[in-house]
A and B are shown apart, each in its own frame.
Chain A
Amino acid sequence: MYWAILSGIEGNLAAYEAVMQDLGRQSTTISELYILGDLIGPTSSSEKLVQRVHNPRRGELKPQVCQGWWEEQCLILHGLGRSPEPTKLTERYGMAMVKTLWDSVSRETVGWLKSLDFGFFELDCLLIHGSSVSVEDELTPETSPLVICDRLARMGANALFCGRSGLTFKYQLQGGSTTSSLTTLNGEQSPHTVEAPPCSVIGVGSVGRIPSHTAYTLYNPGTGQVEFKTVRYGATKGFGALLSSNALDGF
């Protein structure tokens, strides 16, 4: 029994179709399908993709979708975000992107995006686009272990699945400690050693960011096994052929 965890589709309908086909070929049972944000992007196929997600085909799971960076930018454009101006969007992509993104998503879809959760908490796992801080917070293999501790501690999770970086990786905090002492007006507590809890961050990859190449993650919540899947699709592989590979891993 696995969870399929996707992120960063970014309006790339062809990439999403490739992943859904790949999931259909899996020999293991997929019990849940998560999309950790960035479902939409500044593309003309975003609207079709949303409709595709709303209407899964026979035998497909209906995805559970949370907000990502692109959804947040879209909501800001419509005055529904947590920031009054699309500053991050224009800083990164220029003013022209405001219209491109606006034109990519219908008002009806904007209403649906507004209703999406910021993340999911299942068992001891936090599934979210960025981190427990924001959709923009990008956890990578280079992130400080203290930051990793903080992001997990904020939600009391043992594992955090995220998609902001677009990378597939498994970051495992294996142990550690610090000696803490506290002095207040009432006196001094003896120093004591605090052990770091073992915990993990899993970058689930990006489905649509890189043309003709998708990456997503399978997770077995029973065993903790993580499997990164890559699928090549489209003209570069000839006749729309799909090639799938995986990297198996357990923790």
Chain B
Amino acid sequence: MRGRQAHEWTNREINPEVREFLAQLPLSLWEDNLCFVHGSPNSQHEYMLPEIDAFTALERVMSSGAEVLFCGHTHVPYVRTLKDSHLQVQVKQSSQVQSRHFTAAVKRIVNAGSVGEPRHGRPNATYVIYETETQQVTLREVEYDYQKTCAAIIEKGLPPIFAWRLARGLEFAERADDPSHVCER
């Protein structure tokens, strides 16, 4: 319900120029062997949480074709490194048996966190710095006057829970929310 309210409010507030700009944005960006997406290479709605299965994480990076996959969406910054990956496969077809060995070079997932709606347990803005020469990733957390933003949320008539969750850096979900809901936008 409050999600719909937020969508409707945003729909009213966004002017045509901004709407046009947003509509032409790509779903992914590339820079050498780096790929940038919002959710995952599959969908901007897929959550790649820090604790997702290691082989699932590896599949997402491999499917992008990148060495390092940058994403967001979970609003929790992290760096996941996967190395020494190998799999042994046997395929039987038409009385033939074939064995295959799969290996992968080091892959990383870097989640940039969230500037405006953090969910790592604190109200600070988060982002990452990637050093292209050394491939070093630094997770950054920046304090700002979030209370001013919370006051503006209330003043605009948006659901107060939005201010509550920003002040705590937490997601808020009532029990009444449908836990089986899958966004199919």
Contact = CB atoms under 8 A, between A and B. Distances in A.
A182 B80 contact: yes
Contacts of A175: 87-88
Contact of A184 (B78, B83, B93, B98): B78
Given A144-B62, A184-B76, A184-B139, A170 B92 contact: yes
Nearest to B101: A176
Interface in B78-100: 78-95, 98, 100
A31 interface: no
Chain B: interface secondary structure?
strand
A177 interface: yes
Contact of B83 (A148, A169, A178): A178
B69 to A, nearest CB: 14
A176 B88 contact: yes
Interface residues of B, number: 40
A108 B57 CA distance: 44
A172 B126 CA distance: 42
Interface in A173-187: 173-185
A247 B81 CA distance: 43
B89 A145 contact: yes
A20 interface: no
A149 B89 contact: no
Contacts of B76: 184
Most A CB contacts (10 A, CB to CB) among B57, B58, B92 go to: B92
Nearest to B137: A183
Given A173-B89, A176-B86, A184-B76, 19 more contacts: A141-B98, A146-B104, A149-B53, A149-B55, A153-B55, A169-B91, A173-B88, A175-B88, A177-B84, A178-B55, A179-B85, A180-B57, A182-B81, A184-B78, A185-B141, A191-B83, A194-B53, A194-B55, A196-B87
B53 A153 contact: yes
A168 interface: yes
Given A185-B120, A196-B55, A177 B86 contact: yes
